[in-house]
Amino acid sequence: MSDSAAGNDQDDGSGPGLRKIIHVDMDAFYASVEQRDDPSLRGKPVAVGGDGPRGVLSTCSYEARRFGCRSAMPSVTARRLCPDLIFRRPRFAVYTAISRQIRAIFRDYTPHVEPLSLDEAFLDVTEDMKGIGSATRIAELIRARIRAETGLTASAGVSYNKFLAKLASDQNKPDGLCLIRPGEGAAFVAVLPVRRFFGIGPRGAEKMAALGIATGADLAACDIIFLRTHFGSQADYLYRAARGIDLRRVKAHRPRKSLGAERTFDKDISSGSTLREVLERIIAITWDRIEAGGTRGRTVTLKLKHADFSNLTRARSLAQPVADRAQFAAIGHALLDEVLPLAQPVRLLGLILSQLDGEEDATPAPVGGDAQLSLL
């Protein structure tokens, strides 16, 4: 791509051909579901995740966030910050069912729905199918229906591209709405700390801080050559993002590539029979999710992580999709038998179904999540 094309300065997506994008994201999703279904948890600091020594928070309620608790934080740290924190195990089947409910609501307003995970999606509502009048009004209607039909709150961002809509949905969380109008994107981004940009993690933000880049405005002041020198393949994205530009379309179909579950043990395991028992549980959870998603897949992969963190995988592919739970379980156990007896103790066991079809969901990001049982 040439330098001039990198920024696409002439077309920032807010001129003719303007698109209307909504990003909807449920508030403290897993934790809110637990509070909904157990009234004794309402108004309390609640974490969803494993509470063992290697447990990690999948998420926590806003009450817990006031103490500094966050997603992906080790559970021991969270408990130190908030001694009254109440832990709950994730109930993926319930979250998946709610995810289907909210997607059905989205599809009532547009066929252009791109789910990013169970609890968030982009909607392109440029074409006002129901004659509602404005994207903001559509976003409000969707939030109201989510509340009425699921008993949960969602936040929404409305703007003229995906990058800005996602930033906007985060702006007034929880239970909030934010609109970034055409012409306002660059100013909105200018005052944001760079860590709020999608794709800039804590390490990226540190690197930027070392270069004197703290905000969107600082980033916008960098030329493309400088960005390429320091950020390589991310440079073009950063150049545009700093100007509030994002020309990506909402893609309605993003087939996921794999689905599975894995378990990290509190203590490393060296017994084959214990591993077989754990595998049973992983099979049950993975197959529930496969059924919930109407997914079919041909390849089963067993994944082991040894005490020294070396990985071992064993896979088997069929000519036809795995037919049922019994076949899935049989293949999983056969793969485990291939690696027994163990060369050394194991700290993690996982089972994955891939070569999928029949599922429109986006692949969930590999978000660490609950280290006890994280989605792949």
Interaction site with Mg ion (CB under 5 A): 25-26, 29, 119
How far is it, in rounded angstroms, from Cα 120 to Cα 140? 15
CB of 25 to Mg ion, least distance (A): 4
Indicate the residue among 12 and 120 with the shorter CB distance to ligand TTP. Answer: 120
Indicate the residue among 25 and 124 with the shorter CB distance to Mg ion. Answer: 25
CB of 118 to Mg ion, least distance (A): 9
Exposed/middle/buried for residue 308 (C-beta within 10 Å: 0-12, 13-18, 19+): exposed
**Which letter, b or e, does each residue of 63-74 get, where b requires 16 or more Cβ atoms within 10 Å of its Cβ?**
bbbebebebebb
| Residue 51 site contact among Mg ion, ligand TTP, none (CB < 5 to 8 Å, cut-off depends on kind) | none
Question: CB count, 10 Å around CB of 134?
Answer: 13
Instruction: Give the residues across from 299 on adjacent strands.
Output: 317, 354
Indicate the residue among 52 and 174 with the shorter CB distance to ligand TTP. Answer: 174
CB of 152 to ligand TTP, least distance (A): 10
Beta strands in the chain (DSSP E): 21-26, 46-49, 57-60, 86-88, 113-117, 120-124, 154-159, 177-179, 258-269, 296-306, 311-317, 346-357, 374-375
CB of 84 to ligand TTP, least distance (A): 19
82 is written with which tokens? 């908030």
Output DSSP code: residue 374.
E
Output DSSP code: residue 211.
T
Q: Give me the active site residues, please.
A: 120
Indicate the residue among 117 and 234 with the shorter CB distance to ligand TTP. Answer: 117
| Residue 368 site contact among Mg ion, ligand TTP, none (CB < 5 to 8 Å, cut-off depends on kind) | ligand TTP
- Give phi and psi for 165, each to the nearest 5: -65, -40
Indicate the residue among 157 and 297 with the shorter CB distance to Mg ion. Answer: 157
How far is it, in rounded angstroms, from Cα 344 to Cα 363? 32
How far is it, in rounded angstroms, from Cα 84 to Cα 57? 15
Indicate the residue among 29 and 95 with the shorter CB distance to Mg ion. Answer: 29
CB of 99 to ligand TTP, least distance (A): 10
CB of 113 to ligand TTP, least distance (A): 16
Query: Cα 254 from chain centroid?
Result: 14
Output DSSP code: residue 262.
E
| Residue 59 site contact among ligand TTP, Mg ion, none (CB < 5 to 8 Å, cut-off depends on kind) | ligand TTP
SS (H, E, C) 132-186: CCCHHHHHHHHHHHHHHHHCCCEEEEEECCHHHHHHHHHHCCCCCEEECCCCCHH
Q: Per this entry, what is the length of the chain?
A: 376
CB of 58 to ligand TTP, least distance (A): 3
Residues in contact with ligand TTP by the rule CB under 6 A: 25-30, 58-59, 71-72, 117, 119-120, 173-174, 367-370
Contact indicator for 328, 322 with CB cutoff of 8 Å: yes
Indicate the residue among 121 and 235 with the shorter CB distance to ligand TTP. Answer: 121
- Give phi and psi for 105, each to the nearest 5: -65, -45
